[in-house]
Chains A and B, each alone.
Chain A
Amino acid sequence: MRVTQGCFSFLPDLTDEQISRQVQYCLARGWAVNIEFTDDPHPRNNFWEMWGLPMFDLHDAAGVLMELNECRKVYGDRYIRMSAFDSSHGWESVRLSFIVNRPKEEPGFRLERHEVGGRNIRYTTKSYAVDRPEGMRYGGK
């Protein structure tokens, strides 16, 4: 099942050129672009790992693409996303985030139903991939 998080996730995967256009848009607005990766794509997982530091003071998307390709070399079997941080007063938060790399196979999520008091049911979503230890999900090394 295709994970849909952040911007553009219902579109076909962005090509590198499209990615760099989007990054350029962010840079033109003075946002710092940041690369993050994870192999636990649960929608409530806010804590993706950072690839290097957020990139401040860049002028051109080529620099970000360079880092992205480095990241893909190491974590090409995981989810990688770009997030653009707006540090201006009043915002101070992420303005745009989109997935730029995903594993070849995405096994998707299962829905667990807990029967609790009375006939109530509580639902939990669980990714099939996270049953395996970290780093070995999605056919990793």
Chain B
Amino acid sequence: MSSQSVSPAVPQDVSETLPVERVDLRREFNEVGIGEVLDQLDRELIGLKPVKTRIREIASLLLIERIRKRMNLTSEMPTLHMSFTGNPGTGKTTVALRIASILHKLGFVRRGQVVSVTRDELVGQYIGHTAPKTKEILKKAMGGVLFIDEAYYLHRPDNERDYGQEAIEILLQVMESQREDLVVILAGYGDRMDKFFASNPGFRSRIAHHIDFPDYSDDELLAISELMLHDMNYKFSVDARQAFVRYIELRKAQPLFSNARSIRNALDRMRLRQASRLVADLDRALTSEDIMSLEASEVLASRVFSNTSAE
């Protein structure tokens, strides 16, 4: 193989290994390091029980599949395309990023990058523009995960000549023929995704994992808010925490509640109020404790409370 040594990328010799007879599952599990990823998932994502269960299942399947490959028990590569449905702010995008790293750790995608797109990046503006555009994105996503947010916008039932259909066809073709090169994840709100799948049966059947993201319970939302605050180096005072429990209850009853996203926005507004409260009294010496803690007054200043009291 001396001739190959001149080439810049020396192809590695894939030595013919004999099929393995016995496998230590625990060692295999530790070696791959999915335990860490799954634990991290448990720690950093609150709630989402069905999602976590499904991810665990997929991870186990992939682990077994890896071992089977070593034992020469080849079977077809499992389809890993997924669809995430759920209300706004239930963590679909966050989970998609995690999935990519799990798949990468297990060696089912080679690079593990996530290319996140919406309709704009896939569909062109004039005839002949769509195919190159979609292919460009597909090429960038090869070896990783293609995450299509709000996938139902690809299909416009009211316009027969919409170029979205062309993008869908190219996607379907690649999803089928290059399954080992790329994993496609579609995401969107439940009811609209159902409509989308109904009008594109090809998509539904090519996606093996339909994962539904449930809404968060009040306790989970509180846990999420505390996790977010912790990440931002803030914390609730005892009173503020109690006030926030009530805030969540009231906010949930209001229209346009988008789960964790609403919580994040509420926290951001509270930070503003806290900052202006602190700045109002310029002569005070501040401790780090003062700077870090959010008081009940910040929570109670929210419009959510004033609306109910007005009623």
Residue positions of A touching B, CB distance < 8 A: 7-8, 11, 18, 21-22, 24-25, 52, 55, 57-64, 66-67, 96
Q: Is the CB of B178 within 8 A of A66?
A: yes
Q: Is the CB of B8 within 8 A of A59?
A: no
Tell which of A25, A52, A61, A63 touches B138, judged by Cβ atoms closer than 8 Å.
A63
Residue positions of B touching A, CB distance < 8 A: 3, 7-9, 11, 110-111, 113, 132, 135, 138-144, 174, 178, 181-182
| Cα–Cα, bound, A93→B143 (Å) | 26
- Set of chain B residues within 8 Å of A57, measured between Cβ atoms: 140
- Set of chain A residues within 8 Å of B132, measured between Cβ atoms: 52
Q: Given that A11-B3, A59-B111 are contacting pairs, would A64 and B139 also be in contact in the complex, using a CB cutoff of 8 Å?
A: yes
24 CB < 8 A contacts A-B? A7-B7, A7-B8, A8-B7, A21-B9, A21-B11, A22-B7, A25-B8, A59-B111, A59-B140, A59-B143, A60-B111, A60-B143, A60-B144, A61-B142, A61-B143, A62-B143, A63-B139, A63-B141, A64-B139, A66-B135, A66-B142, A66-B178, A67-B139, A96-B8
Q: Is the CB of A25 within 8 A of B9?
A: yes
Chain A CB within 10 A, most for which of B11, B132, B174:
B11
Tell which of B7, B8, B135, B142 touches A62, judged by Cβ atoms closer than 8 Å.
B142
Q: Is the CB of A60 within 8 A of B11?
A: no
| Cα–Cα, bound, A64→B143 (Å) | 11
- Set of chain A residues within 8 Å of B140, measured between Cβ atoms: 57-59, 63
| Cα–Cα, bound, A30→B150 (Å) | 31
- Set of chain A residues within 8 Å of B3, measured between Cβ atoms: 11
B180 and chain A: residue at smallest CB distance: A62
- Set of chain A residues within 8 Å of B111, measured between Cβ atoms: 59-60
- Set of chain A residues within 8 Å of B141, measured between Cβ atoms: 63
- Set of chain A residues within 8 Å of B7, measured between Cβ atoms: 7-8, 22
| Cα–Cα, bound, A21→B3 (Å) | 16
| Cα–Cα, bound, A58→B138 (Å) | 10
| Cα–Cα, bound, A58→B3 (Å) | 29
From residue B194, how far is it (CB to closest CB) to chain A in Å?
31
| Cα–Cα, bound, A61→B178 (Å) | 12
From residue A123, how far is it (CB to closest CB) to chain B in Å?
30
- Set of chain B residues within 8 Å of A64, measured between Cβ atoms: 139
Tell which of B9, B113, B174 touches A59, judged by Cβ atoms closer than 8 Å.
B113
| Cα–Cα, bound, A66→B180 (Å) | 13
- Set of chain B residues within 8 Å of A24, measured between Cβ atoms: 9
| Cα–Cα, bound, A55→B142 (Å) | 12
Beyond A22-B8, A63-B140, 19 extra complex contacts between A and B, CB < 8 Å: A7-B8, A8-B7, A11-B3, A21-B9, A21-B11, A58-B142, A59-B111, A59-B140, A59-B142, A59-B143, A60-B111, A60-B181, A62-B142, A62-B143, A62-B178, A62-B182, A63-B139, A66-B138, A66-B174
